């Protein structure tokens, strides 16, 4: 469990649905604990505040200060609205929170409509976990219809500091109305079984392989929109990276190649640099692959954080590892739901590069293939396909033309090598069967 070091933190409530400020029980890893939590719901109805021009400016609303660019507070009869006011956005305008929520976000719901008789507009919701320095689109873009509000629901599932922005994406002069933005708290995630994985993120639906939190530098938890990391600050590589793969993540975005340190990490967390890898003889080996995240530019860029990399032998990374990644995407494209965990195994004699970035002795993957997108632990049976591999991570120990199938091992073998407990939210009796088996399909 992650519930060590529980502290009590008073959190200002922007505008609670209950209309009152509250004291919230939050563990110091930033995850609200499961019990005695008063929800800190942000509900912005645009009923207070005045902004009559489109020119960019801050405006104080009920929940705090927002920045409205090519956007205003509409009060006309042609503004679709709840109450007397709603936001109106044109061109490539946006509505941006100038403040953070401390309690993460579970879901965001937004009412949206076309203004007056304007043509349909397309918009998206973006989140930032670094005070607005960088933004990631949440889910898919939405399109407005005229006359009355539709409700757009977004699943966010991110812990810790977060703020949101609504962007009009079509760039046209058609106007849209936005109202009744409701943000609910992130629901607590634990570790080591008990069904806690799904509460942390979609990407850990089958369980959290080992406890992680934002206060443990060697098991540093980073919950991203595209994947979840437990990061090891001493080794400067992840312990494990866990992600969901299905066709909803696959598009046509080209590889962005913007390898860089992770700007969502605190400065206190030791990270690898580009210089550590440069000339090291090892590839910057993705754990969650670039090609698994091709729906949007931001989703693809997120895979290029060095925190999602290990120093990987070229014969491994560009050989059987890459072939396996391709084959898993091929399986996903048939409509399957895959959950994948990847990382390295280490020993006292593991090699290092640069300023102490530890080279894994082997890289591993654990893959569960479910029949339908949206399935979770309950759908895993003793006949579910589970693929484990461990691949040697030195060029002289692995051939670039080797068949990845030859590196298959049981999940039990990977658990023994890493100390992790994979698939911990699956029924223990089922785990026992599927983790002992070596895939032979
Ligand atoms: Mn790779
Ligand atoms: Mn297990």
CATH number at residue 93: 2.60.120.260
CA–CA distance, 392 with 351 (Å, rounded to integer): 13
Lowest model confidence (mean pLDDT) among 15-19, 350-354, 362-366: 15-19
Q: What is the 3-state secondary structure of 304-358?
A: CEHHHEEEECHHHHCCHHHHHHHHHHHHHCCCCEEEEEEEEECCCCCCEECCCEE
Based on the domain organization, do 167 and 298 belong to the same domain? no
Ligand nearest to the CA of 425: 2
Q: What is the CATH number of the domain that holds 353?
A: 3.40.570.10
Question: Ligand 1 mean position to 319 CA, how many Å?
Answer: 9
Based on the domain organization, do 81 and 207 belong to the same domain? no
Return the higher-pLDDT residue of 40 and 306: 306
On whether residue 31 sits in a domain, the answer given is: no
On whether residue 35 sits in a domain, the answer given is: no
- For the entire predicted model, the pTM comes to 0.61
> Does pLDDT of 6 surpass 50?
no
Based on the domain organization, do 211 and 330 belong to the same domain? yes
Q: What is the pLDDT of residues 361-413, one digit of tens each?
A: 999 999 999 999 999 999 999 999 999 999 999 999 999 999 999 999 999 99
User: What is the number of domains present in the chain?
Assistant: 2
- Rg (alpha carbons) of the chain, rounded to whole number: 23
Check if 286 is active-site.
Answer: yes
> Does pLDDT of 18 surpass 50?
no
Question: Ligand 1 mean position to 314 CA, how many Å?
Answer: 9
What are residue 66's phi and psi, to 5 degrees?
-120, 150
> Does pLDDT of 212 surpass 90?
yes
Task: Please return the burial class of 153, using the count of CB atoms within 10 Å of its CB with bins 0-12, 13-18 and 19+.
Answer: exposed
pLDDT of residue 61: 96
Burial 273-300 (b: 16+ CB within 10 A, else e): eeebbeebebbbbbbbbbbbbbbbebbb
Q: What is the pLDDT of residues 31-87, one digit of tens each?
A: 333 333 335 678 999 999 999 999 999 999 999 999 999 999 999 999 999 999 999
Inter-residue contact 393 to 369 (CB < 8 Å): no
Ligand nearest to the CA of 429: 2
On whether residue 58 sits in a domain, the answer given is: yes
> Does pLDDT of 429 surpass 90?
yes
**Domain limits at 259?**
196-434
Residue range 109-115: mean pLDDT, rounded: 96
On whether residue 16 sits in a domain, the answer given is: no
Ligand nearest to the CA of 210: 2
> Does pLDDT of 165 surpass 60?
yes
pLDDT of residue 32: 33
Based on the domain organization, do 177 and 204 belong to the same domain? no
pLDDT of residue 195: 65
Structural domain ending residue among the three candidates 137, 158, 184 = 184
Task: Please return the burial class of 252, using the count of CB atoms within 10 Å of its CB with bins 0-12, 13-18 and 19+.
Answer: exposed
Question: Ligand 2 mean position to 300 CA, how many Å?
Answer: 29
Based on the domain organization, do 211 and 166 belong to the same domain? no
Question: Ligand 2 mean position to 368 CA, how many Å?
Answer: 12
pLDDT of residue 11: 32
Size (the chain), residues: 441
What proportions of the chain, in percent to the nearest 5, are helix, strand and coil? Answer: 15, 35, 50
On whether residue 207 sits in a domain, the answer given is: yes
Inter-residue contact 142 to 86 (CB < 8 Å): no
On whether residue 191 sits in a domain, the answer given is: no
Write out the two tokens for 300.
């693809």
Strand partners, 358: 352
- Average pLDDT of the chain to the nearest whole number: 89
Question: Ligand 2 mean position to 423 CA, how many Å?
Answer: 5
């Amino acid at each position: 469990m992650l519930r060590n070091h529980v502290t009590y933190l008073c959190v200002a409530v922007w505008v609670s649905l209950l209309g009152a400020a509250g004291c919230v029980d939050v563990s110091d890893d930033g995850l609200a604990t499961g019990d005695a939590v008063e929800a800190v719901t942000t509900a912005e109805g645009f009923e207070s505040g005045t902004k009559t021009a489109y020119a960019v400016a801050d405006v104080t609303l009920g929940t705090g200060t927002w920045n409205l660019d090519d956007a205003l507070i509409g009060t006309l009869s042609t503004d679709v609205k709840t109450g007397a006011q709603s936001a109106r956005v044109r061109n490539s305008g946006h509505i941006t929170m100038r403040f953070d929520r401390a309690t993460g976000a579970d879901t965001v719901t937004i009412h949206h409509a076309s203004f007056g008789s304007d043509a349909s507009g397309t918009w998206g919701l973006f989140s930032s976990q670094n005070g607005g320095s960088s933004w990631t689109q949440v889910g898919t873009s939405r399109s407005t219809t005229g006359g009355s509000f539709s409700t757009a629901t977004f699943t966010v599932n991110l812990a810790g500091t977060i703020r949101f922005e609504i962007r009009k994406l079509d760039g046209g002069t058609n106007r849209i109305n936005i109202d009744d933005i409701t943000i609910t708290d992130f629901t607590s995630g634990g570790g080591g079984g008990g069904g806690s994985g799904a509460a942390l993120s979609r990407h850990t639906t089958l369980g959290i392989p080992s406890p992680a939190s934002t206060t443990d530098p060697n098991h540093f938890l980073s919950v991203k929109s595209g994947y979840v990391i437990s990061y090891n600050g001493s080794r400067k590589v992840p312990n494990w990276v866990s992600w969901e793969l299905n066709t909803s993540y696959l598009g046509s975005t080209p590889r962005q190649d913007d390898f860089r340190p992770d700007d969502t990490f605190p400065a206190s967390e030791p990270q690898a640099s580009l210089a550590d890898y440069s000339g090291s003889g090892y590839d910057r080996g993705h754990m969650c692959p670039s090609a698994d995240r091709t729906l949007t530019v931001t989703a693809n860029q997120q895979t290029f954080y060095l925190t999602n990399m290990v120093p990987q032998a070229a014969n491994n990374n560009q050989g059987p590892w890459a072939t396996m990644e391709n084959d898993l995407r091929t399986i996903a494209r048939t409509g399957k739901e895959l959950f994948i965990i990847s990382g390295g195994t280490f020993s006292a004699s593991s090699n290092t590069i640069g300023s102490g970035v530890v080279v894994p002795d082997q890289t591993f993957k654990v893959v569960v293939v479910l029949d339908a997108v949206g399935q979770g632990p309950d759908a895993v049976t003793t006949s579910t396909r589970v693929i484990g591999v461990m691949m040697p991570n030195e060029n002289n120990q692995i051939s670039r033309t080797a068949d990845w199938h030859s590196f298959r091992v049981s999940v039990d073998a990977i658990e023994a090598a890493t100390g992790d407990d994979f698939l911990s939210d699956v029924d223990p009796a089922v785990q026992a069967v599927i983790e002992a088996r070596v895939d032979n399909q």
